[in-house]
């Protein structure tokens, strides 16, 4: 993958954050407990990092990066050869045969769309294009789309117009997917990194590793402990201070994802135009600065953080409080802080 300007900007930011975290949290590794191997790679148009404690760390980390590339090859809507791109290319024309894995991920994403009442909708591609976010680069400057352009794009968005089917049982089960209208377009940006991180962590566990941390864009998954016996600690970025932290949480056997209006945006008439679009209004969301979700899997934390970013704050919090082992921290547009009932860190400094 070519390293573009966006990737480099992200690298810069994340390295600064890692630098801060290093000084805040680095504890001396005690002798005899093994050592930590850390590797970074530009992947998935972002920054991917794996940390683990294992004598075979180099080999396992390399295999985990390859696993991430494999899964990205199925889902990445910017790669014309991916299964998702094939579904997009056949929109309104035909159904496309897809792997069981892609079918399962897309069915899970459909469930989140339903849970969120359509706030989370990965058929949002036409609206992202209309607002200038249909590339892996930051959005372009512009006057914003005309009303009729938005109305047309909105008519091409709706998860109910996307079907995933299976046509047999048992070993012969085959899966296909179809977008019902020409011009429709899936965008997996809200959950693909979380799922890719899950797959990397599954491979790491299959290799017998007990202590590891996988970071893919805004999603981090941790298992076990650091080599010194302390828990993995994750800094949650302050939404308005690029190198500042809002909170730090300990992460054991769970995933955390943050969605922020600062990730990818441009300014128009002194207003921030962010990359997360409310499919119900066809406009970029301006009710939240950042949303962080803790969950058992990277897919869940990633998908739900985007869902909550779009939903009304109260409805989003009610959803999170209704889900077992899921917690959220929401910062709204006015910098008000909302925490779900079991959010682990009660002292948030904005
Ligand atoms: P995240 O950073 O995980 O919150 O994902 C943001 C990405 O999700 C955007 O860059 C788009 O690719 C995509 N997206 C934007 N709006 C929505 C939406 N309403 N539902 C699902 N995906 C969206
Ligand atoms: Mg997300």
Q: How many A from CA of 193 to the centre of ligand 2?
A: 8
Query: Residue 165: what pLDDT?
Result: 96
Query: Residue 339: what pLDDT?
Result: 96
Query: Residue 33: what pLDDT?
Result: 56
Q: How many A from CA of 9 to the centre of ligand 2?
A: 19
What is the position in ligand 1's atom list of the atom closest to the CA of 193? Answer: 3
Say if residue 323 is exposed, middle or buried (CB neighbours under 10 Å; 0-12, 13-18, 19+). middle
The segments of the chain whose pLDDT lies below 50 read 1-32
Q: How many A from CA of 28 to the centre of ligand 1?
A: 38
What is the position in ligand 1's atom list of the atom closest to the CA of 307? Answer: 20
Query: Residue 142: what pLDDT?
Result: 59
Query: Residue 205: what pLDDT?
Result: 98
How far apart CA 198 and CA 154 sit, in angstroms, is 32
Surrounding ion ligand 2 within 5 Å at CB are 190, 302, 305-306
Query: Residue 135: what pLDDT?
Result: 66
What is the position in ligand 1's atom list of the atom closest to the CA of 259? Answer: 4
Q: How many A from CA of 257 to the centre of ligand 2?
A: 7
Ligand nearest to C-alpha 304: 2
Query: Residue 6: what pLDDT?
Result: 35
Query: Residue 23: what pLDDT?
Result: 32
Residue 213 and residue 221 in contact, taking contact as beta carbons nearer than 8 Å: yes
Ligand nearest to C-alpha 309: 1
Give ligand 1 pocket residues (Cβ under 6 A): 120-122, 124, 128, 187, 189-190, 218, 259, 263-264, 275-277, 279, 302, 305-306, 309-310
Tokens, residue 118: 């359509």
Tell me the best of 189, 237, 287, 330 to mutate to test the pocket of ligand 1, counting ligand atoms within 8 Å of each CB and taking the most. 189
Residue 83 and residue 192 in contact, taking contact as beta carbons nearer than 8 Å: no
Q: How many A from CA of 33 to the centre of ligand 1?
A: 40
Q: Closest Cα to atom 2, ligand 1: which residue?
A: 259
Ligand nearest to C-alpha 259: 1
What global pTM score does this model have? Answer: 0.89
Query: Residue 267: what pLDDT?
Result: 77
Query: Residue 345: what pLDDT?
Result: 79
Q: How many A from CA of 2 to the centre of ligand 1?
A: 22
């Amino acid at each position: 993958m070519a390293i573009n300007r966006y990737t480099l900007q992200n690298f810069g930011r994340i390295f600064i954050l890692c630098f801060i975290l290093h000084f805040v949290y680095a504890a001396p590794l005690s002798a005899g407990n093994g050592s930590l191997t850390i590797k970074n790679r530009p992947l998935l148009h972002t920054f991917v990092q794996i940390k683990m404690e294992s004598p075979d760390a180099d080999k396992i980390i390399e295999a985990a990066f390859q696993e991430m590339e494999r899964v990205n090859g199925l889902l990445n809507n910017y790669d014309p050869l991916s299964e998702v791109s094939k579904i997009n290319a056949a929109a309104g024309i035909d159904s496309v045969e897809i792997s069981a894995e892609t079918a399962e991920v897309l069915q899970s994403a459909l469930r989140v769309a339903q849970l969120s009442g359509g706030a989370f909708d990965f058929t949002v591609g036409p609206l992202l294009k209309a607002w200038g976010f249909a590339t892996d680069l930051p959005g372009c400057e512009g006057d914003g789309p005309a009303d009729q352009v938005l109305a047309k794009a909105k008519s091409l968005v709706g998860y109910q117009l996307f079907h995933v089917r299976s046509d047999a049982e048992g070993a012969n089960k085959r899966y296909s997917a179809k977008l019902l209208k020409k011009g429709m377009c899936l965008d997996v940006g809200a959950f693909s990194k979380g799922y890719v991180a899950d797959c990397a962590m599954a491979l790491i566990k299959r290799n017998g590793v007990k202590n590891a941390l996988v970071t893919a864009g805004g999603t981090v998954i941790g298992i076990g402990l650091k080599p010194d016996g302390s828990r993995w600690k994750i800094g949650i970025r302050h939404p308005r201070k690029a190198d500042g932290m809002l909170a730090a949480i300990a992460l054991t056997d769970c995933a955390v994802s943050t969605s922020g209006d600062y990730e990818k945006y441009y300014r128009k008439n002194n207003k921030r135009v962010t990359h997360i679009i409310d499919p119900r209004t066809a406009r970029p969301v301006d009710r939240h600065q950042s949303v962080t979700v803790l969950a058992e899997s990277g897919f869940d934390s990633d998908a739900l953080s985007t869902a909550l970013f779009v939903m009304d704050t109260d409805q989003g919090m009610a959803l999170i409080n209704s889900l077992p082992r899921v917690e959220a921290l929401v910062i709204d547009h006015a910098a008000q802080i909302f925490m779900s009932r079991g959010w682990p860190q009660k002292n948030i400094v904005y």
